[in-house]
Structure 1
């Protein structure tokens, strides 16, 4: 099996589904994905908290501890590292690495606003010193939060994070083909974007040069929509949607529980 790092250098981009619990992760494994990420949004929302406010640390570590028992690579979305102190961030990532997590997403924003690039770079450096084998996907949030939202500003941060030791650059909100091509051309590291309905993974990985396409919180949000659709159909006397059978999902969970106990 390819290493997690190698998955970023294959002929086609790594399509990474993001799970919010064991059940969603098992479904992704069953669908044949070689790597799974966690979603801070889905984990936080499941507990009734907004994303990006450092509420998901304990739940992310607990979930990662279970997901690493699966036969795929696991990468964790750790928001901004849950601290302003680079040493504390590095310790948190090292805890995940000790569990067997292959990578982390580390973002350069907090509470919906950019932090100074030097602060984010210091966290990346601290993480790589303590956990050199962890794949650090440095998230550049200029476009996502519409702050200093230019390609030039994104590239400045991306270069700073590359110099700090990042292994990949994640630019959520990047959807314009010309901007994507410029960033993937100017950044030597694998570039990660969020899934977007205007571009397929094949298109992103072709001339545009993207090496990783993440689902982000899309599966969680789609699951909520489908849940509402199923019960409104029932209420409104319409045919309910098809779904994986109870017995199939139960079988996945039983198998996983038995393997985890061994």
Structure 2
């Protein structure tokens, strides 16, 4: 699958990013792209308009420029949702909170809800 990326919503376009995105998407599709990847879009209405204007599956990043949940993104017409570095950022945030908690109070509250060592090992044994 060829997922063609356009960074029009990260800046760098002189005109309207919506129009530029659609124009690029149409050229990408004509060149053989299967999906159009548009990271950096913030507004739900813009995402809905992009999905309607682009005659190919639309890929949006959740958690980068917007915090729109995946079910809403799908309801807006998005076909593929990427996370980019969101999972890594979430994991690193937990590491930072854990370190701060250990340093300041010495407690282990950051482990609340964590998978047990035995369960983790069981999953690796499968």
Query: Taking structure 2 as the reference length, what is the TM-score of the superposition?
Result: 0.83
What's 1:156 paired with? 23
In structure 1, distance between residues paired with 2:4 and 2:120: 34
Please list every run of 5 or more consecutive structure 1 residues that lacks an aligned counterpart in the other structure: 1-134, 256-262
**Residues 234 and 240, structure 1, Cα contact 8 Å, conserved in 2:** no
Which residue of 142, 145, 155 corresponds with 2:8? Answer: 142
> Residue 185 of structure 1 aligns with which residue?
52
Tell me whether 1:201 sits opposite 2:70 in the alignment.
yes
Find the aligned partners of 1:198 and 1:224 in 2 and give their Cα distance. Answer: 18
Matched, 1:234 2:102: yes
> What SS is found at the alignment partner of 1:216?
coil
- Tell me how far 1:187 sits from its aligned partner: 0.8
Give SS of 1:143's match: helix
Q: 1:246 aligns with which of 93, 117, 121?
A: 117
Deviations 1:140-168 (A, max 9, x none): 11113x11061111111111111111111
Please give the secondary structure, in 2, of the residue aligned with 1:225: helix
The structure richer in helix per residue is: 2
Question: Which is richer in strand?
Answer: 1
| Secondary structure, aligned partner of 1:213 | strand
In 2, the alpha carbon distance for the partners of 1:234 and 1:245 equals 19
Counterpart pick for 1:169 among 36, 56, 63: 36
How many matched pairs? Answer: 119
Q: 2: distance between equivalents of 1:171 and 1:217?
A: 15
How many Å separate the matches in 2 of 1:203 and 1:252?
Answer: 31
In 1, the alpha carbon distance for the partners of 2:31 and 2:118 equals 48
Partner of 1:259: none
